Structure 1
Amino acid sequence: MEQQKEKREESEQEKWVYDGSVDSKGRVPLRSSTGVWIASLFVLAIEFSERVSYFGIAANLISYLTKVMNEDLKTAAKNVNYWAGTTTLMPLIGGFLADAYTGRFPMVLFSSLVYLMGLCLLTMSQYIPSLKPCNTKTCLQPRKLHEVAFFLALYCISLGTGGFKPCLESFGADQFHEDNVEERKKKLSFFNWWNFALCFALLLGATVIVYVQDVCGWGAASLILTILMALCIIAFYVGKSFYRYRRPEGNTLKPILQVLTAAIRKRKLSCPSNPALLYEVPMSDTTGRLLCNTKNLRFLDKAAIIEDKHVGEKHSPWRLATVTRVEETKLILNIIPIWLTSLSTGICVAQASTLFVKQAAAMNLKLSNRFTIPPASIASAAAIGTLIFIPIYDMIIVPIMRKLTGSERGISILRRISIGYTFSVIVMIVSALVEAKRLKMHEQEILRRGETEEKLMSVFWLVPQYLILGFGDSFSLVGLQEYFYDQVPDSMRSVGMALYLSVIGVGSFLSSFLIYIVDHVTEKNGKSWIGKDINSSRLDRFYWMLAVINGLNLCAYLYLAKRYAYKSVKRTGNEIDGCNRDGVEMMMMA
């Protein structure tokens, strides 16, 4: 009878999702009718539409700025990088506000409407006569009013992305219960298939949308993107009864400041050798997950020491912190060096939408006498590389590695990222070799015929570097998404995804900074590596420099990864023995 009673209780526990989330009516979610892939499909749909819009604009933006706005290569590349950087840094603000005050679903909905407003303005800048670039097909000097409307639309899209991107991916991952074995495995696949959908959007944006922009005009393309986004916002709202929601937990930075203050106040105390003596609340008194004590950053453990003179008193959080709060602070501090080493990947990604596109424009784009590939469409090769590799990774490599390592992930997060960083080095080496060959062919043609506009080298020479970039993204970018979602405190997961996006944003700004520095230094020798046009530049040397930077960065990353301690979640009981020691893997990068 007792066993039957226990089984009934377990069955009842399994029926509901007890992880602090609620359904659309504020109740404990029913497992069978909320969350997992049912809810994720709605999330993936709106992400798909947003990414089609973003990649459709970003892939061809440098061509628009040089051909319609008549900007030179350096200025256009800087403007693209500034916009991409702003778009991927704004999520730091949106993610913080969502975690602390608004919640993820309301933030996604509001930001989607701002994004839609930006697309509407972009469409109007192409159709309203007073806002159009000019009255003729070729613009020697576009109207100032068009420039204002165009850039206002772009940065309105950036503002919308600020709340949309960090919340949507973490909201999608929230649909899976981490303490349920089956849902946890599905969650590990979620990030892979999220990027599969993202790359399919890149493929569509860089081919169909770019083709419409080049053949029918930016107005027709913007109108298509506006309609698609509007339909997906409606679909996302319709699915609200299937979602699991997390309530905002207030200012997420305040507990970190409390831990640092408490540790400094008790800096003269010695940490106990037994972690069980540190202060922690019982699991029965909290709805969130508790974390186990780790051995790194031991100074912060002093914040959890109970002082003899205050035993039995009500403790101020500015003087005494729980072990979980201490460990959450350690997680944030541990993230900083990993984030810094990830910036070189952001620099590589920035090249795909700027200098790689200008390379393509200087090559033979003809498939036949009647059909010419838009330069920006060659970026679809990177999406194809990722689309090919992610299913192979998720359905073949991961199951094999699970059997070999005994780990649910198959390949640990930091090891996966390191493989991606290795691909970054290879990408820049291949890019340098291809560009050197293109310049050599161009110089030989000038010697033979004099000044020529003939483009001898086929654009398909760029396919290998884009494919390698796609393979690398399957490891580095997907791994970074998992890392910044999994290794931040549970209350800061939107901020975690914003930190991941900031890698791309800061990488774009660093790319612009490098272009400026390299141009300033090399033009003193008579020939700038990044001149007014691509044929007067030496991008091959610039790429070799990036290959060296990425190689040195990989070495620094491996050093940090060896000493990294993963988040350790307490599964049962209140004793230290209840900690899940699998979470405290030391990353051995052989």
Structure 2
Amino acid sequence: MDTGVDNGGAIKSRLIDDEDDVVEGFEDFKGLRAVRSKTGLWKSASFIIGVEVAEKFAYNGVSSNLITYLTGPLGQSTASAAASVNAWTGTLSLLPLLGAFVSDSFLGRYRTIIISVLVYILSLGLLSLSASLNSDCKVGANTSDCAPPQLKLVAFYLSLYLAAFGAGGMRPCIQAFGADQFDGDNVNESKLKSSFFNWLYFAMSSGSLLALLILNYIQDNLSWELGFGIPCIVMFAVLLLYLLGSPTYRFRLHTDAKNPFSRVGRVFLNAAIPHRGCSAFVAADAEQPITNEGDIRDAKALLGLLPIWFTSLGFAVVFSQGTTLFTKQGQTMDREIFLGLKIPAATMQSLSFFTIIFIIPVYDWVLVPAARSLTGRPAGISMLQRIGAGLFMSLLSMVIAALIETKRLAVAAEWGLVDEAGATLPMSVWWLAPQYVLFGLANVFAIVGLQEFFYDQVPSDLKSIGLALYLSIIGIGDFLSSFLIALLESITSRAELDSWFDNNMNRAHVDYFYWLLVGISAIVMLAYAFIAKSYVYRERDLVRC
């Protein structure tokens, strides 16, 4: 890894008394062979995890309340605001593929993270500045009677999409660079690497929860400038900490250090184009063939991930309901906690994060050691078994959600409130707690399992790209969910019966949609089980304790 330090042709290796203390395939910040006792592990990973916490804090600080800002200070209609949010989140979810390619081909993960964080800081600063520009639009205002200054709109959208580019570079690289601090070929460090993905998701959830509890309140009750400005300050502070940890990091050596872009390109070329032999493609200006057995093997490994990727899309469609339809259910229910204090329907999402924060320590400290003693695997159970458990829990959450929605509709009918769109039903919002808790459990198993799987099972030169593939599952799932809802809305609104997604939730039939997702999830699980059973892991996953 070329960190920019000029060693003046200095010797790139050192004499080490214990050769086992060298981590093969890695170097340190000075370009010397990475020493196990001085680099990597939790002392390094903690700096990197801090960047991920800050990114989740910043992202949720913007996204969770974005529709309120669009319909308030920017004076957009609800439909326009929803379209803007979907376009932004969809773009952000696919940009990690670009960021990962740039990282693995040109800059490396360390530099890509630095550049991406700087872009993120710039975007948040610009977002805070745009919020300070005067606007006559308020929440609930008639959008035809108010219009924000053109400069405010330009600055806002520029900053918003700059943030998307920053996140696109950070997300796959942070997770991959953090996992690089643990040697998967070492039995002890392999155990720690599996724990890293657990605690990474724990930290991510903590950052998201803090944003929901703190930034949303500041934005709604104090000022948008402060609500956008605080994440900017946090990101800057975390960048300094990340740079402070540089001397402790391990940097993965590229297989083709002189031309990593050529190496990555060859693997993708072999994955995309059929060939008949190891010398199918020959460079015009070189004697050596572009492809070799290693490239072909890695291309096959990359293609082997696609069936898992496709069958995980069903989980991603279910995953997208937690921030949309679940919230719509809660808005119609009794949200009073005590003495007239009501909680926002969206606050129920925090139950999933609380579940994640509670379960991950139990999983890592209790369940994994127990399973490890039975299976001999460093992670206790295999990555695909963990993902499969998450898929089952997501299916179960949809079953519970459908049953609760059926009961909610029955309560509306019983009390004669079917035609009262704005009425609060005599049914506590805590009825939704089980589906949110199951959602959190599903994430602990499926999301963390997918992160580890797409990192571990890709070729060493494509770790960032592997994690970008995992991130794209969630993004494509959002698009598929939107498409499915739009299609069903078009079909059911033409029939004599009420639309499944009627604006009046008491006349809608979201329960039918949930049962449809149950059916889709069941089919996907059967396909997943068949594919997972025949999947052959890379040798590294078969390390025994």
Q: TM-score range by the shorter chain?
A: 0.7 to 0.9
Q: Look up the SS of the partner of 1:29 in the other structure.
A: strand
2:115 is the alignment partner of 1:110: yes
Q: Look up the SS of the partner of 1:525 in the other structure.
A: coil
Of 264, 271, 286 in structure 1, the residue corresponding to residue 275 of structure 2 is: 264
Moved more, 541-550 or 414-423: 541-550
Is the contact between residue 335 and residue 428 of structure 2 (CA under 8 Å) also seen in structure 1? yes
Which amino acid in the other structure matches residue 446 of structure 2? S
Q: Provide the residue aligned with 2:400 in structure 1.
A: 430
Of 133, 137, 147 in structure 2, the residue corresponding to residue 143 of structure 1 is: 147
Moved more, 149-158 or 541-550: 149-158
| Separation in structure 1 between the aligned mates of residue 112 and residue 418 of structure 2, nearest angstrom | 61
2:195 is the alignment partner of 1:189: yes
Taking only aligned residues, the RMSD between alpha carbons, in angstroms, comes to: 2.8
Q: Provide the residue aligned with 1:572 in structure 2.
A: none
| Separation in structure 1 between the aligned mates of residue 122 and residue 318 of structure 2, nearest angstrom | 31
Is the contact between residue 349 and residue 436 of structure 2 (CA under 8 Å) also seen in structure 1? yes
Of 288, 291, 300 in structure 2, the residue corresponding to residue 316 of structure 1 is: 288
Query: In the TM superposition, what is the alpha-carbon distance from 1:174 to its structure 2 partner?
Result: 0.7
Query: In the TM superposition, what is the alpha-carbon distance from 1:46 to its structure 2 partner?
Result: 1.2
| Separation in structure 2 between the aligned mates of residue 68 and residue 529 of structure 1, nearest angstrom | 32
Q: Provide the residue aligned with 1:285 in structure 2.
A: none
Q: Look up the SS of the partner of 2:35 in the other structure.
A: coil
2:342 is the alignment partner of 1:372: yes
| Separation in structure 2 between the aligned mates of residue 506 and residue 450 of structure 1, nearest angstrom | 35
Of 499, 516, 521 in structure 1, the residue corresponding to residue 469 of structure 2 is: 499
2:525 is the alignment partner of 1:539: no
Q: Look up the SS of the partner of 1:18 in the other structure.
A: strand
1:326-357 Cα shifts (integer Å, max 9, x gaps): 32111111111110111112112211222222
Q: Which ranges in structure 1 are unaligned for 5 or more consecutive residues?
A: 1-8, 267-302, 306-313, 570-579, 585-590
Q: Provide the residue aligned with 1:46 in structure 2.
A: 51
Of 198, 218, 221 in structure 1, the residue corresponding to residue 204 of structure 2 is: 198
Query: In the TM superposition, what is the alpha-carbon distance from 1:170 to its structure 2 partner?
Result: 0.3
Q: Provide the residue aligned with 1:485 in structure 2.
A: 455
1:162-183 Cα shifts (integer Å, max 9, x gaps): 1000101100011112233222
Which amino acid in the other structure matches residue 27 of structure 1? L
Is the contact between residue 101 and residue 251 of structure 1 (CA under 8 Å) also seen in structure 2? no
Q: 1:188 to 1:455 in 2, by over 3 A?
A: same
Q: Look up the SS of the partner of 1:328 in the other structure.
A: helix
Q: How does 1:393-542 map to 2 (within 5 A)?
A: 393-447=363-417, 453-526=423-496, 527-532=498-503, 534-542=505-513
Which amino acid in the other structure matches residue 220 of structure 1? L
| Separation in structure 2 between the aligned mates of residue 361 and residue 252 of structure 1, nearest angstrom | 52
Q: Which ranges in structure 2 are unaligned for 5 or more consecutive residues?
A: 1-14, 255-259, 281-285
Query: In the TM superposition, what is the alpha-carbon distance from 1:447 to its structure 2 partner?
Result: 4.9
Which amino acid in the other structure matches residue 344 of structure 1? G
Alignment TM-score, normalising by the size of structure 2: 0.87
Q: Provide the residue aligned with 2:11 in structure 1.
A: none
Q: Look up the SS of the partner of 1:250 in the other structure.
A: helix
Query: In the TM superposition, what is the alpha-carbon distance from 1:445 to its structure 2 partner?
Result: 3.7
Q: 1:73 to 1:365 in 2, by over 3 A?
A: farther
Is the contact between residue 196 and residue 386 of structure 1 (CA under 8 Å) also seen in structure 2? yes
Q: Provide the residue aligned with 1:550 in structure 2.
A: 521
Is the contact between residue 24 and residue 240 of structure 1 (CA under 8 Å) also seen in structure 2? yes
Alignment TM-score, normalising by the size of structure 1: 0.81
Q: Look up the SS of the partner of 2:342 in the other structure.
A: coil
Is the contact between residue 344 and residue 549 of structure 1 (CA under 8 Å) also seen in structure 2? yes
Of 6, 10, 13 in structure 1, the residue corresponding to residue 19 of structure 2 is: 13
Query: In the TM superposition, what is the alpha-carbon distance from 1:449 to its structure 2 partner?
Result: 10
1:362-420 Cα shifts (integer Å, max 9, x gaps): 33333234633233221111111111211111111111111111222210111111110
Percent sequence identity over matched residues? 36
Q: Provide the residue aligned with 1:229 in structure 2.
A: 235
| Separation in structure 2 between the aligned mates of residue 410 and residue 247 of structure 1, nearest angstrom | 29
1:446-486 Cα shifts (integer Å, max 9, x gaps): 45997763343322222211110000111100000011000
Q: Provide the residue aligned with 1:177 in structure 2.
A: 183
Of 301, 306, 312 in structure 2, the residue corresponding to residue 331 of structure 1 is: 301
Of 160, 163, 186 in structure 1, the residue corresponding to residue 166 of structure 2 is: 160
Moved more, 449-458 or 389-398: 449-458
Query: In the TM superposition, what is the alpha-carbon distance from 1:518 to its structure 2 partner?
Result: 1.0
Q: Provide the residue aligned with 2:4 in structure 1.
A: none
Is the contact between residue 445 and residue 452 of structure 1 (CA under 8 Å) also seen in structure 2? no
Which amino acid in the other structure matches residue 554 of structure 1? M
Moved more, 459-468 or 55-64: 55-64
| Separation in structure 2 between the aligned mates of residue 204 and residue 38 of structure 1, nearest angstrom | 24
